[in-house]
Structures are given as C-alpha cells and as structure tokens.
Structure 1
Amino acid sequence: MTKTESGRSLLLIDDEDGFLAVMRRRFERRGYDVATAGSGAEALRLLRERRFEAAVLDLKMGDMDGFELLRIFRRMAPEMPVVMLTGHGGETEAAEGLRLGAAGYLLKPCDFEALVECLDGALTQDDSGGATDGQAT
C-alpha cells in the first residue's frame, strides 16, 4: 500500500455518477481533496476556478471524449498529471493517451490500488521536477 500526502487536490471526471461517488469516497479516505465533474465542460470550468495536482479522466463521455479534454488540459495545466480510464479500448487508445501526455492509462474496472500507485508515481515525479513517465497498465 502506498502512502499519500494529505490534501492532494484531485479532479475526477466521468459521466457515470455512481462511479464518481464511489471513487470520490475511496480517494477521500486516502487523504485526497477531491472535486468531481460529470462532463468535459464541467471539468474545464473547475480547472479554470482552481489548481489541481492531478486528474483522473474517463475516455468516453457524452459531451467530449477524453482525448479532446486531455489536449485542452495540456494547454491549461501542462504540469498536471492525468491518468486516463476507460471501459472500452485497447492498446491503440492507450498509446494515443500516452502520446498526448497522459501519466497512465487503465482499463475499467481497474484495481483501485493500481490507480493510486499510478497517481502517486506521477505526483512524486512531478514533485521532484521530472517529467511524468506514462505507462499503460
């Protein structure tokens, strides 16, 4: 189990309300300060209002896909690590996400510990001033 610093700000983006609620509770128990967005537009509004240390982003959403949102995030907050999640897709999508700058790419349902490790690894590299080294899992 990895140790997470208390108060890390995390933006969770997914169009499935139940998934967001469960993930929010799990991350908050780990000490994260979590904001949720049910759409790409809502995520962009939140990112304009405050700084997040990391984001977890669903690939398939109603108003825009995760790749489009990741491109915008790279312009608005290039230092913010983003881990992508999807219930659909494979190696091609993972490669595209990593090419666009995602810190990781996981398939749903994903192991929560693997997601935390991916985020912690990206945040640790970001804290040390190094670039994040995305790996598809």
Structure 2
Amino acid sequence: MDNVGGAGRVVRLLIVDDETGFAEVLCKRMRRRGVEAASAASGDEAVRLLRREEFDVAIVDLKLQGMNGIEILKVFRLMAPDMPVLMLTGHGSEEARDECIKLGAAGYLSKPVEFDRLLDKALELGAGSVRA
C-alpha cells in the first residue's frame, strides 16, 4: 500500500502508547516506510500534540496511565472528528471493543499485532483523511 493520500501528501500518524519502546520502534518503522509519525506516552501529551499539529490517523492503546484509550478517543472525536482512530490493546475485552466502535473508533486490533497489518490499516485509514 502506498504511504501517500490525496494530492500526493504523506500520511501523518499519531501513536499513543505508554509502552515507549513499542511506540518508538513503531514510529521508526513507519518513518522508514515514508509515513510521518509522532508518538505520545500519555493522553495529556497526545492532546497537546493534536492541538499543535494535524494528523491523518491515530493509533491509541486502550490501557494507559491517567487518561485511558476510551477517554482519549472521546477527546479526539471532539478535537478532530474526521481523524480516524485505530484502537490497539493487549488487554481488551469484547465490551471494550464494542464501546470503542460505538464511540467512533475506525478499528480495534489486539497486541501482539503484525507490523505490516498495522501499517496497512493505518495507511488505509489515513489515506482517506489526508488533509490538503
């Protein structure tokens, strides 16, 4: 899958995960594929980033310290209603998945997740929302 969306612009991705090692590796691998990626280790940090920059898609871990993934999803829906949010978790339940989808998550994947599958899903979602 191509890493660009409309008008040939590169997809901008925000990763929210308190496992900083995982987030850093994911960002590096995304950048190697030509995706602009930034990471936040908390909900507060993610909100600050989203206030400063526009992103085409976000990947949000469900279990975080402080603000959890569902709370972040609610805030993102208010701040950037057109930005797809892909939920990612290693501790999820069917109830949590259903709640995320009901609140507007574009998808829900379980860890461990194959990198290529995550990349393809993020690019698919991000390419549809790339801003001019």
Q: Which amino acid aligns with 1:113?
A: D
Q: Distance in 2 between matches of 1:17 and 1:124?
A: 26
Deviations 1:79-127 (A, max 9, x none): 0011110010132211111111111100011111211222222234436
Length-normalised TM-score, structure 2? 0.89
Work out which of the residue numbers 60, 79, 82 in structure 2 matches 1:79: 82
Structure 2 alignment gaps of length 5 or more: none
Corresponding position: 1:114 with 2:117: yes
Corresponding position: 1:93 with 2:96: yes
Question: Sequence identity of aligned pairs in percent?
Answer: 46
Q: CA deviation at 1:35?
A: 1.1
Corresponding position: 1:41 with 2:40: no
Deviations 1:45-68 (A, max 9, x none): 000111111111000110111000
Work out which of the residue numbers 22, 25, 29 in structure 2 matches 1:26: 29
Q: Distance in 2 between matches of 1:81 and 1:61?
A: 19
Give secondary structure in 2 for the equivalent of 1:126.
Answer: coil
Give secondary structure in 2 for the equivalent of 1:34.
Answer: strand
Work out which of the residue numbers 4, 10, 14 in structure 2 matches 1:11: 14
Match for residue 53 of structure 1? 56
Corresponding position: 1:63 with 2:66: yes
Q: Distance in 1 between matches of 2:95 and 2:121?
A: 20
Task: Report if the CA contact (8 A) 2:11-2:126 is conserved.
Answer: no
Q: Which amino acid aligns with 1:49?
A: R
Q: CA deviation at 1:7?
A: 2.6
Structure 1 alignment gaps of length 5 or more: 128-137
> Would you identify which runs of 4 or more consecutive aligned residues in structure 1 move more than 6 Å?
none
For structure 1, which segment, 41-50 or 90-99, has the greater mean C-alpha deviation from structure 2 after superposition? Answer: 90-99
